[in-house]
Structure 1
Amino acid sequence: MSIPLSFRLRLAALGLLLPTLASAQTVTAPAPPSAVTLAGPQWYLLDPQKDGVMGVSALRAYAELLQGRTSTPVTVAIIDAGIDTAHTDLKRLLWRNTKEIAGNGQDDDQNGYVDDVHGWSFLGGPDGRNVDIDTYEDTRVLARLQPRFQGKTRATVPAAQRADYDLYLKAKKTYDEKVKENTQRLKEIGEAYTENQQGAEAVKQALKVSSLDTATLHHPPTQDPELLAVTNGLYQNLKQAGYPSLEAVLAEIKEALTDTKNQLDYSLNLKFDPRGVVQDHPNDVKERRYGNKDLYGPEPSHGTHVAGIIGADRTNALGILGLADNVRLMAVRAVPNGDERDKDVANAIRYAVDNGASIINMSFGKYYSPQRPVVEEAIRYAGTKGVLLVHSAGNESKNMDQETQYPAPVFRNGQRIPNMITVGASARQNNADLVAEFSNYGRHAVDVFAPGNQIYSTVPGSLYANKSGTSMAAPVVTGIAAVLKSYFPTLTATQLKSIILQSAQPTHTQVHQPGTKKLLDFRELSGTGGIVNLYRAVELAQRQTAQ
């Protein structure tokens, strides 16, 4: 899963370190919704002209264009790490395999998957165990090729093996870079955690409070000028970063610390291979009947968040509003903590297509694809069935015109994939920071941008959180596609793609090129040069279907 954290740490006003993280989250319990509570956290539903933020005009589209219109159910597959199917804001919207009898241990519909009532996991074993952490693809490539090529030069390698030798050198380079980066990151985050923890304890003791949340820091129980300066600085910093408390910052840093250690211990471990859990044949790309029914998995936070953006219940007076109002969410687990395997991705796409998905969300990606042909075959198969694929562009601040991320937006023959949209992440304000600093981009490789910074959605336990990443931008586009397909059911996958791209809101704002302070026209960062907009998309769909 290509969802790396941005571990760049900045010095806060008080000398305490607060992180700027590409997957920062703030967890809250559900609250009864109102126009204010729904629109406030969910800025991405708002309208640029009416509300002054760079949302997708969803609330306006429902109020002005879709009110009173008839919709039909649309099945959307979410290929991800898992979904909390018991979430109060999701459970009513789950896709249901009506041919399968839940819990009877039999393959009632004879599709090869036992008890696949709401979807399937290609990361589970028949004994109920599940893959959590897996290796990165360059780790796997290096582990496979190093015994053949270590210590050799290209001149000493037979000509027939030089392509593999070149791949070995490339994988070794990126692998070594990741080891070095994560080793340094582990040191820095460990120091940041210690410093934040000690600073927090000192302030709590001085204030005689048990928690440093924004309410306490905004009105601290002290008249001491020095303490007031400290608390005000902390308050401003937390508000700016979107955290409810310093404890939430500490939890985020601790999570980052654990994640980085896991990368070094497992994802970058040449000897680690968790695939025995699945009990399949990893190199047999034609094998399809493996996995289990566990859709939750070890860590479903990412997939649950994605699901809520697409289709959280709009009728239950709880939590948030999903973009689509008549959707069936199908969970397909194929993305571990690490890099997804091509075989699993291909099988996940085929499973979704065969079970009636019209749109597939793919918030994952990687930079090596050793079994690329089998993924492309599955994508072509989806195309023949009229299924639209929506893919996140990645979070490494890279120019995708210069480096390929997989699944790539083009087939190996150079043909652009007609039924796939690649999505970069934009932010709330129409200023130099309109492009999320972590987002990949590319005039040719990235089709369009969508809100992906500080996106409020569902997380496990019937809770809600802010997360950031192109993983959040892709489901915004998926949700828009689902709305269009629901209200205009005759639209094909290629027509959906065309309408979404043509209706994107163009902007020529001078923005920071991701990963730099260089300014350039937002138009240069994607094929459309725009941000998706549901209102404009519905208008265009109305015109096209009326002809």
Structure 2
Amino acid sequence: MKQFLYFAIAFAVVCSTFADEVLTSQSGNNYSADRLIVKLQPQQTMPQSKLIKRAQHLFAQTYVVYTNNLHELEKVLQKNDSVVYTERDFHSERVTELARDVATVRASEDAAPFNDPRVGSLWSFADAGDNGISVNKVYQEKSTKPQKEIIVAVVDTGVDVNHEDLSNVMWKNPGEIVGNGIDDDNNGYIDDIYGINTLVRDKDGKATVDISDTHSHGTHVSGTIAAQQNNGKGVAGIASKVKIMAIRTVPNFSDEKDVDVIEAFMYAAKNGAKIINCSFGKSHNEGGNSVAEAIDFIGKEYGVLVVAAAGNSSQNIDIRPTYPASFTSENLLVVASTTSWGTMSSFSNYGKVGVDIAAPGSSILSTVPRNRYSSKSGTSMASPTVAGVAAEVLANNPNLDPVTLKSVLMTSVTKVSAFSSKIASGGRIDLKKALVEAKSLNK
């Protein structure tokens, strides 16, 4: 019988970033002063105007245009019959929120499947009956047999690509030659070896390629998904045949902008990512459609599943939406957070309609920059737990489309009675059951 060491830690989590935030103010100019999102009618081209400095195609008939006179350009384009809509490039305000949760760390003394020294602290790897997601059991029983390597894009604060537990699982652009200053693959980005940075742009407004993580959030998320297994170092990720594509789109103070998010999604999809993890969000959408339409587009055109954190405001997002979680795309999977006691984390958002599934998110140990490890809590941590499971299931069943993969993950949950009125699936994700469910579809 497995033995566990139980101890409780009371802690305060300063939720100053990402899915841990709530928008506290709608006042002020929380949009880019020089960028406007424009959707054109089918078969139409961008209208000519001296107010447009440059136009960049995002996806389908949607563009971002750069201008020195945003308000005047809005008026001009809104009167043009070839334009479906214009949207300002909104972002969330810089805010802080103090969320408190009493998390329980259950350190497993049985980490037989892995030789990574700190994997015993990953309470989420425990069996479903012990409030985990059955990672240890799957690898002990060798019931996972990946057929294809899966690319997971982490749209976040960047990733420490030199971390001892991540360096060997980073995606590298096969079409680029390192450091030659040339766009070798003609994808519009020079030396995008590991991904792109949509926050820092060159003089022409193009995204750059430094994806260094100066915060820690993106590196932590990446480790939960894909920290190298059985390398004798640190922890282990959930997925065994996976590469992390690093896209820096979320600033350290979490005021990500719609254009940056859309460009991140499109880059990931075009470069082969089949899962995108979004551990960020804002609680006001300003009525925009472009991000939601981008999620729909990459699902239908590229077969991408987007996994999003539900947010950490302890609220029902069916009543008080948060985005991107509250978009209704078929290929969007929204995640609440649980504790090692099996309860929903006190900070976690929920919603019978808007939240799909639950996963461990309280006190999750993972990688942080400079070869260090740290525990963090939030739906930001629950989302990559689901992304890791999704990657392992997809690696075993690479023919699954994103909507079917989402259905598999939701259908195979371990049911929790207290969750039946809180989230659509009524349960916590379970790697073992998901692999069985997916395999049954191939019979």
Query: What band does the TM-score fall into relative to the shorter chain?
Result: 0.7 to 0.9
Cα separation, partners in 2 of 1:540 and 1:297, compared to 1, 3 Å: closer
Q: Could you say what secondary structure the match of 1:524 adopts?
A: coil
Match of 1:460 among 348, 369, 380: 369
State yes or no: 1:488 paired with 2:397: yes
Q: Which residue of 1 aligns with 2:432?
A: 535
Q: Distance in 2 between matches of 1:36 and 1:86?
A: 18
Question: Which structure has the highest helix share of the two?
Answer: 1
Equivalent pair of 1:2/1:365 in contact (CA under 8 Å): yes
Offset at residue 487 of structure 1 (A): 1.1
Aligned-partner residue type, residue 295 of structure 1: I
Q: Which residue of 1 aligns with 2:275?
A: 359
Equivalent pair of 1:503/1:537 in contact (CA under 8 Å): yes
Q: Could you say what secondary structure the match of 1:83 adopts?
A: coil
Offset at residue 98 of structure 1 (A): 0.8
TM-score w.r.t. the length of structure 2 is: 0.74
Q: Which residue of 1 aligns with 2:98?
A: 7
Write the deviation string for residues 286-320 of structure 1: whole angstroms up to 9, x where unpaired. Answer: xxxx2211101432x00000000000001311111
Aligned-partner residue type, residue 113 of structure 1: Y
Q: Distance in 2 between matches of 1:483 and 1:2?
A: 24
Q: Distance in 2 between matches of 1:298 and 1:492?
A: 35
Q: Could you say what secondary structure the match of 2:335 adopts?
A: strand
Aligned-partner residue type, residue 107 of structure 1: D
State yes or no: 1:40 paired with 2:120: yes
Equivalent pair of 2:146/2:392 in contact (CA under 8 Å): no
Offset at residue 37 of structure 1 (A): 4.4
Q: Could you say what secondary structure the match of 2:352 adopts?
A: coil
TM-score w.r.t. the length of structure 1 is: 0.60
State yes or no: 1:64 paired with 2:141: yes
Equivalent pair of 1:23/1:469 in contact (CA under 8 Å): no
Q: Which has the higher contact order (CA 8 A, sep 6+)?
A: 1
Offset at residue 409 of structure 1 (A): 3.7
Offset at residue 34 of structure 1 (A): 6.1
- What stretches of structure 2 of length at least 5 have no aligned partner? 1-17, 22-95, 106-112
Q: Could you say what secondary structure the match of 1:421 adopts?
A: strand
Write the deviation string for residues 396-426 of structure 1: whole angstroms up to 9, x where unpaired. Answer: 111101011111443xxxxx31111000000
State yes or no: 1:420 paired with 2:332: yes
Listed as ranges, the matches of 1:209-224 within 5 Å are none
Aligned-partner residue type, residue 441 of structure 2: Q
Q: Distance in 1 between matches of 2:119 and 2:236?
A: 9
Write the deviation string for residues 417-441 of structure 1: whole angstroms up to 9, x where unpaired. Answer: 11110000000013xxx11111000
Q: Distance in 2 between matches of 1:77 and 1:22?
A: 31
Q: Distance in 1 between matches of 2:103 and 2:292?
A: 29
Equivalent pair of 1:39/1:46 in contact (CA under 8 Å): no
Match of 2:248 among 330, 333, 351: 333
Equivalent pair of 1:55/1:451 in contact (CA under 8 Å): yes
State yes or no: 1:349 paired with 2:265: yes
- What stretches of structure 1 of length at least 5 have no aligned partner? 9-19, 26-32, 128-278, 281-289, 411-415, 509-520
Q: Could you say what secondary structure the match of 2:366 adopts?
A: strand
Q: Which residue of 2 aligns with 1:400?
A: 317
Q: Which residue of 1 aligns with 2:92?
A: none
Size of the aligned set, in residue pairs, is: 343
Equivalent pair of 1:46/1:59 in contact (CA under 8 Å): yes
Q: Could you say what secondary structure the match of 1:122 adopts?
A: strand
Q: Could you say what secondary structure the match of 2:375 adopts?
A: strand
Q: Distance in 1 between matches of 2:103 and 2:397?
A: 34
Cα separation, partners in 2 of 1:98 and 1:371, compared to 1, 3 Å: farther
Offset at residue 23 of structure 1 (A): 11
Offset at residue 7 of structure 1 (A): 2.8
Listed as ranges, the matches of 1:499-518 within 5 Å are 499-508=408-417
Q: Distance in 1 between matches of 2:273 and 2:435?
A: 21
Write the deviation string for residues 68-127 of structure 1: whole angstroms up to 9, x where unpaired. Answer: x34311111000011101101001011111111111111111111111001000011338
Q: Which residue of 1 aligns with 2:341?
A: 429
CA RMSD of aligned residues (A): 2.2
Aligned-partner residue type, residue 538 of structure 1: L
Q: Distance in 2 between matches of 1:37 and 1:318?
A: 6
Cα separation, partners in 2 of 1:41 and 1:126, compared to 1, 3 Å: same
Q: Which residue of 2 aligns with 1:80?
A: 156
Q: Distance in 2 between matches of 1:534 and 1:367?
A: 30
Q: Which residue of 1 aligns with 2:75?
A: none
Q: Which residue of 1 aligns with 2:352?
A: 443
Q: Which residue of 2 aligns with 1:89?
A: 165
Match of 1:303 among 193, 215, 218: 218
Q: Which residue of 1 aligns with 2:202?
A: 126
Q: Could you say what secondary structure the match of 2:289 adopts?
A: helix
Q: Could you say what secondary structure the match of 1:66 adopts?
A: coil
Question: Which structure has the highest strand share of the two?
Answer: 2
Q: Distance in 1 between matches of 2:102 and 2:282?
A: 17
Q: Which residue of 2 aligns with 1:526?
A: 423
Q: Distance in 1 between matches of 2:260 and 2:287?
A: 10
Offset at residue 522 of structure 1 (A): 2.5
Offset at residue 371 of structure 1 (A): 7.2
Q: Distance in 1 between matches of 2:359 and 2:183?
A: 40
| Identity %, equivalent residues | 38
Q: Which residue of 1 aligns with 2:188?
A: 112
Bigger radius of gyration: 1
Q: Could you say what secondary structure the match of 1:7 adopts?
A: strand
Q: Distance in 2 between matches of 1:297 and 1:486?
A: 27
Aligned-partner residue type, residue 320 of structure 2: E
Equivalent pair of 2:19/2:378 in contact (CA under 8 Å): no
